[in-house]
Structure 1
């Protein structure tokens, strides 16, 4: 079901994410192509790797090895703007891979690293994180991570998975992809799915190159959170990604039942956008827009959000809505982990009200519900989420928002996913979770297990390690084991913990992930009732 635009407008400021073997020098290299050890560089050959396009030099870290900013496609500029990505060109000598590449073009946001606008379009690169391994070590399974950001912001650098790679014995790849209008605009003569095609091009780069970094190309897991999780949904339904990965992880990405925009609506919206830039003829809109500077594209994009930039359904890249492809068995038949967080809506409620010094009041609460969900669903939500059950109106609104937008869609998608293969279900429910990196530490607001909070337990969001107590550290270890075992090809498991339920054999059962004092990890069958999914399923069916 398409997500109501009024909800996504509420969400647009916040859905940000909030991505080994040594290679001996070939004797046939020409003198000009031979890598040399310049001053300040280690002679350790484990950080010198030859890709299909040329040599790269990464660096050794306390966690292993990392290679940053490696191009996987040509810059999508000029005549290549709004076209399928083309493979990266070759280079001579050794490319420095110790610094991140450019952000893809995007407007400014309040999240760390996004305080200013970026206008570059030369941004299609990957980052590779690998454990330190000895000569002759076996190839390791691979996770390819798609970042969040509402399809309008973010970058592969948003998470640093070096510790995750070491602890799980995996190679992790993060990637950039085109955003906003540059990644999703649909006008006559274009597909509109350039972000989807970028991700597939990156997956093909992994197939061609990951073995040189110690990874096993036959054991790739595609994963993402928020908009990145939604991208995983789309890739599962896209014929173009078949065979490029063997498993998938969707974290808080099933919102709107993973729906994209119909081609008819996408073209109409695309032409309206083109008109804002003076490109009024539909037949020439694409060429007209290609002549516009990136700054003008971003200017026209101001004020738009995730509801404006979604994958286009109805062409060869994405023939069916993902939920339809899942239910009909016409999606990739790979194992899937799918889940959400128990209090997703808290950060959205904060961003809608408290961030601006206008906390939601009891008098304004009913109108806020009907504004977000419509008259019928809003009035029903008022009865399901009474203010008497919450410490403040903002928390009540957050519960309704999160249940509608994330919790119930994840639970609704699980049986559809199970029609095409194994699916394992979780809910991150640590209400004591440390603040996500982009949230203000001095806010008078209890964020708990809100949107993106689980990333603290797996990676270093924005390069920052969470300040865990002993219980939280134990939960992080357990979650890393669940994710890591799945990437290695087994059902998700952690030593001494309950298994993550498989929906084909245990339908409706979900593993809640919590610290020991909050009950520990436990399987539950009551989440649909706790999240009032009967109400939100009916609202989705009626929209």
Structure 2
């Protein structure tokens, strides 16, 4: 079924006033639900539904509504495929149909002082293809409990949000995030939040988009602090970022244009996306979505822009997990299949010297080849760029704080894999999402400490340890003493630094 020729989006559905807390935005009133001292307001549109004439277009203001919006349960989620294969066992997907999926969820203290509270705006990860604010692990109740107004925003994903199409703007999902941040500036005071104290944070692809937001000239007017969790600092030229778009167009036998893609239903695009990405991972390669370098939102790769001084006035908390790559290597069994030839090919492809490989092997005498490759990939793709950014920001006015999450999850031998830290940062180890990654024996003391650091950073600009310096201090969340380690594994970092 085609979306072409549809009418402009209509207003969101409303219902008569009923029990529960209410807040009034410039577009209309919304009724939430109070649970355990926290008010939750779900499904609040921050932009118009991106359908009909607004499909593959920059976000437009939300349509006002009469009556009271029912915000007592999660709203629609962006069209997406569930995770496939082994990852489906540990990474959940929530699919709620509906047009108004450009919405936010807000968790705020039920009782609060007249003084406005710090705000934290969360952008989920998921390879720019997966995720939503409806996931159980992102409810944000712990942030509200600790005096923060928490906001989680949906944004367009996959073909709808990051295609490279003739006749369409690039980086639409990132444009959605900018619109959500502008909405926060205009509306968050109605929920008790201070628009002058907004911390934006995201993990994985969400961390990647946060890096692009931090590099944007409008960043100081939209947020005052930033947290990047395991996020690449990258963006690709449109020709490279558009390879997956071209493959989808070829699969559907249509041109890679806005007009042609608009004739396809979201379900049709998702089916084609699933076909062209089958069997791919961030480590093994293959078609995937990426931010595109373009004059408007991403004039240069975030790494380049930030190293050049962009975002220098905004305090930054940034870090990785120790074993990022194990998320893709271990549950799939790939770690056991990688041999010396794979390692040799991979290291040449990404420019890793033979000497660096020998160093990693010498430092890990009991690791198999797949584990060595995973550690090299973790450092080359995430840890080294993070260190380079932290070093570059030493010349700027705002502090940088660096962490490493090192607690080893027993689930499927993940150890400190990509995304394992989420339940700890959110202090929600009991959610099904966290249990899938960290298991039922995860230490609450570690979640308390990590979450406290995130809240303190949002409230004060410091997470509680010394800022980055030439001594290279890294707060290490290991579940023990959580020490600050100076220049950890610096020989390996130096061996991989261009």
Q: Which range, TM-score by smaller chain? A: 0.7 to 0.9
How many residues of Structure 1 are paired with residues of Structure 2 in the alignment? 466
Q: 1:50 aligned to 2:20?
A: no
Partner residue of 1:522 out of 484, 488, 495: 484
Seen in structure 2, the aligned counterparts of structure 1 residues 271 and 396 have a Cα distance that, compared at 3 Å, is closer
Q: Which runs of 5+ in 1 are unaligned?
A: 1-32, 436-440, 494-498, 539-543
1:137-536 correspondence runs (5 A): 137-158=114-135, 159-253=137-231, 255=232, 258-266=233-241, 270-271=245-246, 273-280=248-255, 285-302=257-274, 303-304=276-277, 308-331=288-311, 333-353=313-333, 360=336, 364-374=338-348, 377=352, 379-380=354-355, 382-386=357-361, 389-433=365-409, 441=411, 443=412, 445=413, 447-459=414-426, 460=428, 463-464=431-432, 472-493=443-464, 499=465, 501-503=466-468, 505-506=469-470, 508-516=472-480, 519-529=481-491, 532-536=492-496
Seen in structure 2, the aligned counterparts of structure 1 residues 155 and 329 have a Cα distance that, compared at 3 Å, is same
- On the 8 A contact 2:132/2:154 being kept in 1, the answer is yes
Distance in 1, Cα, partners of 2:442 & 2:127: 32
Partner residue of 2:105 out of 105, 124, 127: 127
Question: 1:200 aligns to what SS in structure 2?
Answer: helix
Question: 1:82 aligns to what SS in structure 2?
Answer: coil
Distance in 1, Cα, partners of 2:250 & 2:342: 33
Q: CA offsets, 1:12-49, max 9 Å, x none?
A: xxxxxxxxxxxxxxxxxxxxx99633xxx34xxxx111
Seen in structure 2, the aligned counterparts of structure 1 residues 462 and 325 have a Cα distance that, compared at 3 Å, is farther
Question: 2:330 aligns to what SS in structure 1?
Answer: helix
Q: Which runs of 5+ in 2 are unaligned?
A: 1-13
Q: CA offsets, 1:242-269, max 9 Å, x none?
A: 411011000111x3xx121113444576
The CA deviation at 1:231 is 0.7
- On the 8 A contact 2:473/2:486 being kept in 1, the answer is yes
Distance in 1, Cα, partners of 2:104 & 2:94: 22
- On the 8 A contact 1:323/1:416 being kept in 2, the answer is no
Distance in 2, Cα, partners of 1:198 & 1:265: 22
The CA deviation at 1:299 is 2.1
Distance in 1, Cα, partners of 2:127 & 2:171: 15
* Structure with greater contact order relative to length (CA < 8 Å, sep ≥ 6): 1
Q: 1:69 aligned to 2:43?
A: yes
Distance in 1, Cα, partners of 2:390 & 2:315: 12
Q: CA offsets, 1:356-399, max 9 Å, x none?
A: xxx516xx521231343336637445423338612544433332
- On the 8 A contact 2:23/2:31 being kept in 1, the answer is yes
Question: 2:36 aligns to what SS in structure 1?
Answer: coil
Question: 1:66 aligns to what SS in structure 2?
Answer: strand
Question: 1:428 aligns to what SS in structure 2?
Answer: strand
- On the 8 A contact 1:72/1:87 being kept in 2, the answer is yes
Seen in structure 2, the aligned counterparts of structure 1 residues 113 and 322 have a Cα distance that, compared at 3 Å, is closer
Seen in structure 2, the aligned counterparts of structure 1 residues 397 and 113 have a Cα distance that, compared at 3 Å, is closer
User: If the length of structure 1 is used for normalisation, what is the TM-score?
Assistant: 0.78
Question: 1:261 aligns to what SS in structure 2?
Answer: coil
Q: CA offsets, 1:410-468, max 9 Å, x none?
A: 222212344444243333343344x6xxxxx4x3x2x2222112112122379436589
Distance in 1, Cα, partners of 2:72 & 2:155: 20
Question: 1:92 aligns to what SS in structure 2?
Answer: coil
- On the 8 A contact 2:476/2:485 being kept in 1, the answer is yes
The CA deviation at 1:409 is 2.2
- On the 8 A contact 2:356/2:496 being kept in 1, the answer is no
Question: 2:62 aligns to what SS in structure 1?
Answer: coil
